[in-house]
A and B are shown apart, each in its own frame.
Chain A
Amino acid sequence: MNILLLLIIIPILTIIGILFTRDNKKVRVVSAIGMTFQLITAAIIIIWYLAERHAGNTAEVLFASNWVWYETLNIRFYIGVDGVSVAMIGLTAMVIFAGIFASWDVDDLPREFFTFLILLSSGVFGFFISLDLFTMFLFYEIAVIPMYLLIGIWGTGPRHYSAMKLTLMLMGGSALILLGMLGLYFNSNPDGGPFTFEILKIAKAHIPLNTQLFFFPFLFVGFGVLGALFPFHTWSPDGHASAPTAVSMLHAGVLMKLGGYGCYRVAIFLLPDAAHKLAWIFLILTTISVIYGALGAIWQKDLKYINAYSSVSHCGLVLFAILMFNETAMNGAIMQMISHGIMTALFFALIGMIYGRTHTRYINEMSGLMKVMPFLAVAYVIAGLASLGLPGFSGFVAEMTIFVGAFQHADTFHRVATIIAASSIVATAVYILRVVGMMLYGKINKEEYELITDAKWYDRLSVGTLIFGITAIGLAPLWLSTMITGGIGPVIEKLFLAMN
């Protein structure tokens, strides 16, 4: 049995367990147990992967299994991981683990809440381990749809509107992906023989440039919608602001990474010639995403909106780096996905906890919280510092690598784009420090805030896990970086061939 299958089986078993749990209070315990196992499995996979690589296994993907699913159409259930997907699996397991504890006090329909949340996570895991476009797409949609109910039922604010907008925009993106996928399928074997959805086989096919130029925009924009590519990012602020805590965490932390990962793994890897030809358009758009998100965050007063815009900026940076087509920047892009995933999950978890205590998310209504809830406040500062790229945290490693990589292009266009994108760091510092200053320091402005209690054990567990993640990557990035470099090798090679 393939260990990767556990990543799908454990969530399913957990869901079955939840459905058979009598007591509503016990539902969260069952979920927590299931996701703990999931985290352990992910850790084992990472360690095992590193050990295999250390032992000199140079196969393109490890733990691969390839089953035929739909024989006539040559659709396969093909799973396997390389350095990049292993890293993403680790991220997902960490965020969903923290998410379960961050939603410990959900009391409206908890059974349904945890079922949908875990279903969503199983879609994400399935997406990252798929090596066949069909199953990849299938899991992608499984990851998107529960979001509608999660935001619609348990959300806050204009939740019906946000849920509908988010779902329709993301499904619209997936509609474009579907078309691009079919285009790849019917061009996957120009020399005759059966067509295939297998990514590694399509990568070996030589697709004519005109075909590539036709399908590349569909795939890139389709995944780009989920990766908050300007101007298709508008679902993100509304969706994140309305979603319940754990859903925001999972969505900004992991689901948006599906977009970046899809652009990298499908659009760029499989259509490299078109990627080169059309990169400039998307580079402009992503640069706008980066700077627009950062500037947008400055204007917001609602904590969740601030963080949602910040996510647009940071995820824009991921796409920006992917489009640089060199090893350093690409490495940085994957690092940024991991780093931002953990960091933003931490932010949303903290925002949820703060909101649960102060019942407001407007920064001008809060002040001096450091005195009453030091643990959460310090954690918020840590997340903030990681977000603005302070050395020692994961954000610094990722952004530094990206900008170094981006600066390797000597032409004016790339230089200008890089400088504009890099200036977003300044804007990030502004909105992070503003929030920290206004909300955490100063005098307590309302009497009832005096009575606020600090984090409970489950809050601490959730926050602690994520802080461990960002500092571990920040202090010892090399193992992760090496692992990722091994994964992006084939993509870079293919891009290099396309360039010449």
Chain B
Amino acid sequence: MLMLIMRHELLLVLITVILLLVELVLPAHRKQKIILPSLILFGAVMILGFLPGPAGTLFGGMYSTTPLTLLMKNLLTIGMFIVLLQSVDWLKKEENKEKISEFILLLLTTLIGMEYMLSSGDFLMFYLGLELATIPLAALAAFERFKEKSAEAGVKLIFTSALSSGILLYGISMIYGTVGTLYFDEVINGINGAPLQILAFIFFFSGMAFKISIVPFHLWTADVYEGAPINITSYLSVISKGAAVMIFTILLYTVFSKVTIMWKDVIYVTSILTMTIGNLFALRQRNLKRFLAFSSIAQAGFIFLGIIGQSQLGMTTVMYFVLVYIFSNLGAFGVVSVISNRTGKETIDDYDGLYRTNPLLSLTMMLALFSLAGIPPIAGFFGKFFLFTAAAKQGLYILVLIAVLNTIISLYYYLLVVKAMFLNRSDRPIAYFKSDGYSRLGLALCVAGMIIIGIYSPVYEFINRFTFGIY
């Protein structure tokens, strides 16, 4: 029964092993056959994750789950499922045929890492989970290794994450030095804002900021996002970032709860910087992957508004926004991915006149971009609005003002893409094509998510039930 506490991870490990074994017996020319079983298995894991089960601690407090972490894991598996669906078309390409199972297995491994990270009860476990989540991603970023940019992305990712892990670890070791323990429960009582702890926090924060790509630690993002295969980019910008944001929020709310004065200003300033700089850089991008990279940097800045809300409201809004963000951003990336797979076109100018040839894809893209921009009645509006509410509750109206003005900047560049698709005419638009069933299913899930999550308020209330007592 105790093992049920760890059911998410164990199930994932189980299907990873099964898939490895299947991979062994599959003949070389039939590697494609692994796609459907892995989707079915993963779908089963996703559904099983929602079944009620026990929560508690294992291994003397190294590993612990709460209803909240279980919910977070479920959100991540939903996102992961959509990413897998969107990858199928790309995996079936001739040059990837040999590596299909590697792709799936590596992705599953990173997810296992993230889930351990979310459930960690001490800094060591947290660090292990983080590394398990990061290193396979570098391999995935360099997946198309014959493309120069992809190789470059892999190298950049591994270097920056090594650096950030080093910084993070340094911070953790300083915390250990002042408190004498790594268990979260005990660290809480030991943290009192001593100078060395402030330094430790700054190191810890910088390390996490690399992972979430907060300004000024965002410089790797655009190149990696552009070079990596699109599905990896969407995974990086949604699932990986979402997991890092979630655990970061939890740590701030629990471990560093007694010294909010220490981190509040840091979050305040980085939030403004991240939103503004992310937005300003996004304005000038023509490549859609880079464009979405900078837009996702800006979105992280908005998430910080919820974190700074430091209340149950703050936690709920962050979780809710991440959920909305998963569907919206995956929707946008899904369309980019489908079009890139079929035509190889990735710039905004290529999308000129897309609506007249591929109306459904254009509408999906528009919906996703409007959701990212926060236009009602799509879910993104509610996500942003609640983040602003969380910050306003603390009386930080100036911050909210800067944030709402930033949404206008972001609306401008999202509208540029809408303009290309709907308003512009082109002599040679992307011809009509029928996308594959998996992508369509993935996009349909995203659209359904974007529409339902906002209007259907029980989703928010459901999340709110689990965030009770975190702060």
Q: A141: which of B376, B423, B457 is its contact (CB, 8 Å)?
A: B376
* Whole-angstrom CA separation of A145 from B415 in the bound complex: 10
Could you mark each residue 174-185 of chain A with 1 if its beta carbon is under 8 Å from any beta carbon of chain B, else 0? Answer: 011011001101
Q: B389: which of A163, A168, A182 is its contact (CB, 8 Å)?
A: A182
Contact B376 A138 (CB under 8 A): yes
B453 to chain A, nearest CB (A): 12
Q: Knowing that A163-B423, A171-B411, A186-B393 touch, tell me 8 more A-B residue pairs with CB under 8 angstroms.
A: A71-B461, A72-B464, A159-B423, A164-B412, A168-B412, A185-B389, A186-B392, A186-B395
**Given contacts A175-B405, A179-B401, A182-B397, are A70 and B460 in contact (CB under 8 A)?**
yes
Does B386 reach chain A (CB closer than 8 Å)?
yes
**Given contacts A138-B376, A186-B393, are A153 and B422 in contact (CB under 8 A)?**
yes
A interface residues, how many (CB within 8 angstroms): 34
Contacts of A71 on B, CB cut-off 8 Å?
A: 457, 461
Q: Give the 9 A-B residue pairs with the shortest CB-CB distance, closest first.
A: A175-B404, A182-B392, A152-B423, A138-B376, A70-B457, A141-B376, A172-B408, A72-B464, A145-B375
Could you mark each residue 127-138 of chain A with 1 if its beta carbon is under 8 Å from any beta carbon of chain B, else 0? Answer: 000000010011
Q: Quick one: closest B residue to A163, CB to CB?
A: B423
**Given contacts A175-B404, A179-B397, are A167 and B415 in contact (CB under 8 A)?**
yes
Q: Quick one: closest A residue to B456, CB to CB?
A: A69
Q: B400: which of A145, A152, A182 is its contact (CB, 8 Å)?
A: A182
Contact A142 B393 (CB under 8 A): no
Contacts of A145 on B, CB cut-off 8 Å?
A: 370, 375
Q: B376: which of A75, A142, A149, A172 is its contact (CB, 8 Å)?
A: A142
- 9 pairs of residues in contact across A and B, judged by CB atoms under 8 Å: A70-B461, A72-B460, A73-B389, A138-B376, A141-B381, A149-B418, A152-B422, A160-B423, A175-B407
Contact B461 A72 (CB under 8 A): yes
Contact A164 B397 (CB under 8 A): no
Does A223 reach chain B (CB closer than 8 Å)?
no
Does A148 reach chain B (CB closer than 8 Å)?
yes
* Whole-angstrom CA separation of A258 from B425 in the bound complex: 33
Does B388 reach chain A (CB closer than 8 Å)?
yes
Contacts of B419 on A, CB cut-off 8 Å?
A: 152, 160, 164
Query: Chain B contact residues: over half helix, strand or loop, or mixed?
Result: helix
Q: A175: which of B408, B415, B460 is its contact (CB, 8 Å)?
A: B408
B418 to chain A, nearest CB (A): 7
A54 to chain B, nearest CB (A): 37
- Chain B contact residues, CB within 8 Å of chain A: 313, 316, 370, 375-377, 381, 385-386, 388-389, 392-393, 395, 397, 400-401, 404-405, 407-408, 411-412, 415, 418-419, 422-423, 457, 460-461, 464
B410 to chain A, nearest CB (A): 10
Contact B464 A168 (CB under 8 A): no
* Whole-angstrom CA separation of A71 from B461 in the bound complex: 7
Contacts of B457 on A, CB cut-off 8 Å?
A: 69-71, 75
* Whole-angstrom CA separation of A175 from B381 in the bound complex: 12
Contact A179 B404 (CB under 8 A): yes
Contacts of B375 on A, CB cut-off 8 Å?
A: 141, 145
* Whole-angstrom CA separation of A162 from B316 in the bound complex: 39
* Whole-angstrom CA separation of A141 from B373 in the bound complex: 12
Q: Quick one: closest A residue to B366, CB to CB?
A: A149
* Whole-angstrom CA separation of A439 from B389 in the bound complex: 54
* Whole-angstrom CA separation of A133 from B386 in the bound complex: 14
* Whole-angstrom CA separation of A142 from B461 in the bound complex: 24
**Given contacts A145-B370, A152-B422, A182-B397, are A171 and B408 in contact (CB under 8 A)?**
yes
* Whole-angstrom CA separation of A69 from B455 in the bound complex: 9
Could you mark each residue 396-423 of chain A with 1 if its beta carbon is under 8 Å from any beta carbon of chain B, else 0? Answer: 0000000000000000000000000000
B309 to chain A, nearest CB (A): 12
Interface residues of A in 178-198 (CB under 8 A from B): 178-179, 182-183, 185-186
Contact A178 B388 (CB under 8 A): yes
A89 to chain B, nearest CB (A): 20
Contacts of B412 on A, CB cut-off 8 Å?
A: 164, 168
Please indicate which of the listed interface residues A70, A139, A159, A214 has the most CB atoms of chain B within 10 Å of its own CB. Answer: A70
* Whole-angstrom CA separation of A152 from B408 in the bound complex: 18
Q: Quick one: closest B residue to A69, CB to CB?
A: B457
A479 to chain B, nearest CB (A): 35
* Whole-angstrom CA separation of A137 from B370 in the bound complex: 16
Interface residues of A in 317-357 (CB under 8 A from B): none
Q: A183: which of B377, B397, B405 is its contact (CB, 8 Å)?
A: B397
Contacts of B385 on A, CB cut-off 8 Å?
A: 134, 178
* Whole-angstrom CA separation of A448 from B466 in the bound complex: 73
* Whole-angstrom CA separation of A70 from B397 in the bound complex: 22
Q: Quick one: closest B residue to A141, CB to CB?
A: B376
Contact B464 A176 (CB under 8 A): no
* Whole-angstrom CA separation of A271 from B397 in the bound complex: 17
**Given contacts A72-B464, A148-B415, A168-B411, are A153 and B381 in contact (CB under 8 A)?**
no
* Whole-angstrom CA separation of A214 from B395 in the bound complex: 12
Contacts of A182 on B, CB cut-off 8 Å?
A: 388-389, 392, 397, 400
Contacts of B401 on A, CB cut-off 8 Å?
A: 179
B444 to chain A, nearest CB (A): 16
Please indicate which of the listed interface residues A138, A178, A183 has the most CB atoms of chain B within 10 Å of its own CB. Answer: A178
A117 to chain B, nearest CB (A): 15
Contacts of A137 on B, CB cut-off 8 Å?
A: 376
Contacts of A179 on B, CB cut-off 8 Å?
A: 392, 397, 400-401, 404
B227 to chain A, nearest CB (A): 31
Contact A138 B381 (CB under 8 A): yes
**Given contacts A69-B457, A71-B457, A141-B376, are A153 and B423 in contact (CB under 8 A)?**
yes
Q: Quick one: closest A residue to B376, CB to CB?
A: A138
* Whole-angstrom CA separation of A149 from B424 in the bound complex: 11
Contact A73 B386 (CB under 8 A): yes
* Whole-angstrom CA separation of A176 from B397 in the bound complex: 11
Q: A138: which of B316, B377, B395, B415 is its contact (CB, 8 Å)?
A: B377
